[in-house]
Amino acid sequence: MAEFINMPCPSCGGQLQVRKDMQKYFCMYCGSELVLRQDSEGVFQHHADA
């Protein structure tokens, strides 16, 4: 079963529910293509280099 995280879109602020195992996804509100990466401390961060 997939785990999800809730976070705002960095482009429009819309609340997103993203699967932790996904690396690239699209905001369902503004259509922005986003990359999700886990940093060295285990925190998930958006990256705009999609």
List pLDDT tens digits, range 1-46: 678 889 898 889 999 998 888 888 899 999 988 888 777 766 666 6
Do residues 3 and 20 touch, judged by C-beta distance below 8 A?
Answer: yes
Alpha helix ranges (H) inside the chain: none
The pLDDT, as a whole number, for residue 29 is: 95
Pairing of strands 24-26, 33-38: antiparallel
For the whole model, what pTM was predicted?
0.69
The pLDDT, as a whole number, for residue 50 is: 45
Report the C-alpha gap between 22 and 5 in whole angstroms: 11
The pLDDT, as a whole number, for residue 24 is: 87
Domain ranges across the chain? 4-38
Dihedral angle of Cα 26, 15, 10, 32, to the nearest 10 degrees:
20
